[in-house]
Chains A and B, each alone.
Chain A
Amino acid sequence: MDMIASLIATTLSAGTPLALAALGLLINEKTGVVNLGAEGMMLMAAVIGFAVALHTGNQWAAFGAGAVAGALLAGALGLLVIWLNTNQYATGLALTLFGAGLSAFIGIDYVGKTLPNFKPLEIPVLSQIPFFGPALFRHHLMVYLTMALTIGLVWFFDRTRAGLVLRAVGESPESAHALGYPVRRIRLLALMCGGALVGVAGAYLSVIYTPLWVQGMTAGRGWIALALTTFATWRPARVLLGAYLFGGVTMLQFFFQGSGMQVPSQFLSMLPYLATIVVLALMSRNPLWIRVNMPSSIGKPFTPGG
């Protein structure tokens, strides 16, 4: 029973950076911009967040710095793909390669440094409940903020005017433009907000999840987050569930090994990626699932009056 509780707890913790990054990318994609630079942005935010946490000893300053780093990189990407109409896929990939290299360079002095231990939140009373306490109520605040953010985004996209405008920009930039909305500026704003979330995810990895900076430490989490948005058919609540599912699979492979099950560990390490492919393949068999929620203009540049 304890083991299941702790498996749930570690799953939530492992899923949180994935969910944060994927929610950020979801906001981008809702307006029609694909951000393949997520992995590089996470790395940059991870190293900058780590540096800030080390020098200030304040985790919230680190999250802030990570968010700013993510937003600035997303802004740069935005200028290229929104105004100069460069190819979104190629530019994003370039950003990932750039971020991986630059973060390694900046991080040279931070390899092997240690951070103060930021304690998780222990919600009074609730954290003492057997089973549910250890599983659900002893996490870092960011875990709960991510859940709240998911609910907030569901409400934002479905219930608010601004959410509707954002979706309109992604569905039909021409119509949104005709109605008088500044399509390119809205896209840039969404890209930067999304980038900030991706940045927070990166900072969470290096400051809370593994309090260490190491070159390339995101280890493909940016790519999993990208796959997650499709996996979740662009629905925030499904993004969160998907992130927990992926986090769970990661933790499960170690759980199997520790309990002495005869499964090769290499096979287990492959599972999260296999799960992505299987889900993508299953989904594309039912085009309706995708089409209902997929922003129509995704990946396409927009030039007003063009």
Chain B
Amino acid sequence: MLKAVLKKTLVALAAVASVLAMATAPAHAADPLKVGFVYIGPVGDAGWTYAHDLARKALQAKFGDKIKTQFVENVPEGPDAARVIRDLAQQGDGLIFTTSFGYMEPTLKVAKEFPNVKFEHATGYKTAKNVGTYDARTYEGAYLAGVLAGGMSKTNVIGVVGSVPIPEVIRNIDSFTLGAQSVNPKITTKVVWVNKWFDPPKETEAATSLINQGADVLFQNTDSPAVLQTAEKMGKYGFGWDSNMSKFGPKAHLASATINWAPLYDMLTEEVIKGTWKPAQYWWGMRHDTIELQDINPAVPESLKKVVMEREAGLKNGTFNIWKGPIVDQAGKTVVPAGKVADDKFLHGIMFYVKGVEGKVPGQ
């Protein structure tokens, strides 16, 4: 008896479903644009990949059923990357974001095989007919963090846990130092490299070592909250990087320099849907709300907070320049003469420490 009822119900359900499917199919004459994302790390709940995924979710929420997003996480930079990107293209994705520097060659390679798919590669410098690049001016966040660090340091020594010595990271270390020196000329910066983007135990050891050598405000260009956690544990100050990390060290957290990719992702997706997309090289910062400084610690005195807010406003409306001369490198050579503002080409090639940073740039 029960079986028969069940069977009938199932048959009826199936019939309803097939009618529904037929009825709704024409309504979706234009299939949603499939947007794929390739991530270097796990999404987790902090850091570089997390920031990209927040923007992906915002994108999906904004465009609703006009698009369909999907992502692949933990994709190593190497032969596997091309395989994953190709797989997404084969699944019918019309727009693919590859979100790490090392995906540059794999992206270009796959882009050649799929001329109708649009590719956007983060932090790279090579474009093609269907490959554009985009990046964020993370050094603006680093500079403002530096202003806070310079104002809050009592030992006049601040520390940076560096990831991999490439121009982007060196530029952040320099900008951080310039920010600190702008409010406290006595500041020196110590740098320790871990040669990884993500290795919490090593980041912890590096942070501990910096604190032991007198640094009382730490900054990092790595992807985990380990440095901030170490600062919290040892009663010093630290920052969140790429995403808001305040919960990882509520007392130590001076602020988080975050990346909000949503405005850029919105624009690019809109362009692809409208068919106006062209390969370009975007480098957005505070002016486009891509870089933000979030959750300044209440322990920061009002006067210092005011300085930070003023500079932030200046970066937003373009009246303030971080890389404005005179800027002097470690050897005492003037690299940006007084009154001049460094252009993007200069910024892209920074491989020197400014005055006040200790040690040497690895490999230079």
Tell me if A34 is interfacial: C-beta within 8 Å of chain B.
no
Residues of chain A within 8 A (CB-CB) of B195 are 265-266, 269
Asked if B209 and A209 sit within 8 Å, CB to CB, the answer is no
B33: min CB distance to chain A, Å: 29
Asked if A255 and B209 sit within 8 Å, CB to CB, the answer is yes
Asked if A214 and B200 sit within 8 Å, CB to CB, the answer is yes
Q: Name the one of A2, A6, A10, A114 contacting B229, with C-beta atoms under 8 angstroms.
A: A114
Asked if A260 and B359 sit within 8 Å, CB to CB, the answer is yes
Asked if A214 and B192 sit within 8 Å, CB to CB, the answer is no
Near B by CB (< 8 A), chain A positions 4-20 give 6-7, 10, 14
Q: Name the one of A114, A215, A250, A260 contacting B248, with C-beta atoms under 8 angstroms.
A: A114
Residues of chain A within 8 A (CB-CB) of B7 are none
B25-51 interface bits toward A, Cβ cutoff 8 Å, 1 = contact, 0 = none: 000000000000000001011110010
Asked if B213 and A210 sit within 8 Å, CB to CB, the answer is no
Closest partner residue, chain A, to B232 (CB atom): A117
Residues of chain A within 8 A (CB-CB) of B121 are none
Asked if A209 and B201 sit within 8 Å, CB to CB, the answer is yes
B206: min CB distance to chain A, Å: 5
Tell me if B159 is interfacial: C-beta within 8 Å of chain A.
yes
Asked if A3 and B201 sit within 8 Å, CB to CB, the answer is no
Asked if A205 and B247 sit within 8 Å, CB to CB, the answer is no
Tell me if B310 is interfacial: C-beta within 8 Å of chain A.
no
Near A by CB (< 8 A), chain B positions 215-237 give 215, 224-226, 229, 232-233
Residues of chain B within 8 A (CB-CB) of A261 are 359
Asked if A251 and B201 sit within 8 Å, CB to CB, the answer is no
Asked if B200 and A210 sit within 8 Å, CB to CB, the answer is yes
Asked if A254 and B209 sit within 8 Å, CB to CB, the answer is yes
Residues of chain A within 8 A (CB-CB) of B215 are 258
B272: min CB distance to chain A, Å: 31
A267-297 interface bits toward B, Cβ cutoff 8 Å, 1 = contact, 0 = none: 0010000000000000000000000000000
B347: min CB distance to chain A, Å: 24
Q: Answer whether A260 and B358 are a contact pair too, CB < 8 Å, given A254-B192, A265-B195.
A: yes
Tell me if B202 is interfacial: C-beta within 8 Å of chain A.
yes
Q: Answer whether A265 and B200 are a contact pair too, CB < 8 Å, given A112-B47, A212-B229.
A: no
Asked if B362 and A258 sit within 8 Å, CB to CB, the answer is no
Residues of chain A within 8 A (CB-CB) of B226 are 210, 212
Q: Name the one of A6, A209, A212, A219 contacting B224, with C-beta atoms under 8 angstroms.
A: A212
How many residues of chain B get a CB closer than 8 Å to chain A's CBs? 43
Asked if A250 and B199 sit within 8 Å, CB to CB, the answer is no
Q: Name the one of A10, A113, A259 contacting B45, with C-beta atoms under 8 angstroms.
A: A113
Complex Cα distance A262/B359, Å? 7
Asked if B213 and A10 sit within 8 Å, CB to CB, the answer is no
Near A by CB (< 8 A), chain B positions 151-208 give 159, 190-195, 198-206, 208
How many residues of chain A get a CB closer than 8 Å to chain B's CBs? 35
Asked if A258 and B159 sit within 8 Å, CB to CB, the answer is yes
Residues of chain A within 8 A (CB-CB) of B202 are 219
Complex Cα distance A281/B229, Å? 39
Asked if B205 and A205 sit within 8 Å, CB to CB, the answer is no
Residues of chain A within 8 A (CB-CB) of B360 are 260, 262
A208: min CB distance to chain B, Å: 10
Q: Name the one of A6, A217, A258 contacting B200, with C-beta atoms under 8 angstroms.
A: A217
A138: min CB distance to chain B, Å: 11
Closest partner residue, chain A, to B357 (CB atom): A260
Complex Cα distance A212/B208, Å? 16
Tell me if A121 is interfacial: C-beta within 8 Å of chain B.
no
Tell me if A111 is interfacial: C-beta within 8 Å of chain B.
yes
- By DSSP majority rule, is chain B's interface helix, strand, loop, or mixed? mixed
Q: Answer whether A114 and B247 are a contact pair too, CB < 8 Å, given A258-B190, A258-B213, A260-B190.
A: yes
Q: Answer whether A257 and B359 are a contact pair too, CB < 8 Å, given A114-B247, A211-B229.
A: yes
Q: Answer whether A254 and B362 are a contact pair too, CB < 8 Å, given A112-B42, A217-B200, A269-B195.
A: no
A142: min CB distance to chain B, Å: 15
Q: Answer whether A111 and B44 are a contact pair too, CB < 8 Å, given A10-B208, A258-B210, A265-B193.
A: yes
A112: min CB distance to chain B, Å: 3
Q: Name the one of B50, B205, B225, B233 contacting A14, with C-beta atoms under 8 angstroms.
A: B205
Q: Answer whether A214 and B224 are a contact pair too, CB < 8 Å, given A7-B212, A113-B45, A266-B195.
A: yes
Closest partner residue, chain B, to A205 (CB atom): B201
Asked if A112 and B201 sit within 8 Å, CB to CB, the answer is no
Residues of chain B within 8 A (CB-CB) of A113 are 45
Asked if B200 and A212 sit within 8 Å, CB to CB, the answer is yes
Q: Answer whether A265 and B362 are a contact pair too, CB < 8 Å, given A112-B42, A209-B204, A260-B190.
A: yes
Q: Answer whether A3 and B212 are a contact pair too, CB < 8 Å, given A251-B205, A254-B206, A257-B192.
A: yes
Asked if B229 and A219 sit within 8 Å, CB to CB, the answer is no
Most B Cβ at <10 Å: residue of A2, A6, A261, A265:
A265
Near B by CB (< 8 A), chain A positions 33-67 give none
Tell me if A106 is interfacial: C-beta within 8 Å of chain B.
no
Most A Cβ at <10 Å: residue of B45, B209, B210, B362:
B209
Closest partner residue, chain B, to A217 (CB atom): B201
Most B Cβ at <10 Å: residue of A7, A112, A113, A255:
A112
Asked if A112 and B45 sit within 8 Å, CB to CB, the answer is yes
B107-139 interface bits toward A, Cβ cutoff 8 Å, 1 = contact, 0 = none: 000000000000000000000000000000000
User: Can you list 28 residue pairs at the A/B interface with Cβ under 8 Å?
Assistant: A3-B214, A7-B212, A10-B212, A14-B205, A108-B42, A112-B45, A112-B225, A113-B45, A117-B232, A205-B201, A210-B226, A212-B200, A214-B200, A214-B224, A215-B42, A217-B201, A250-B205, A251-B209, A254-B206, A255-B209, A257-B192, A257-B193, A258-B213, A259-B213, A262-B360, A265-B193, A265-B195, A269-B195
Question: 8 closest Cβ contacts across the A-B interface?
Answer: A112-B44, A254-B209, A6-B212, A260-B358, A260-B359, A111-B44, A112-B45, A210-B201
New contact pairs (10) apart from A212-B225, A266-B195, CB-CB < 8 Å: A14-B205, A209-B201, A210-B201, A210-B204, A255-B209, A258-B209, A258-B210, A260-B190, A266-B362, A269-B195
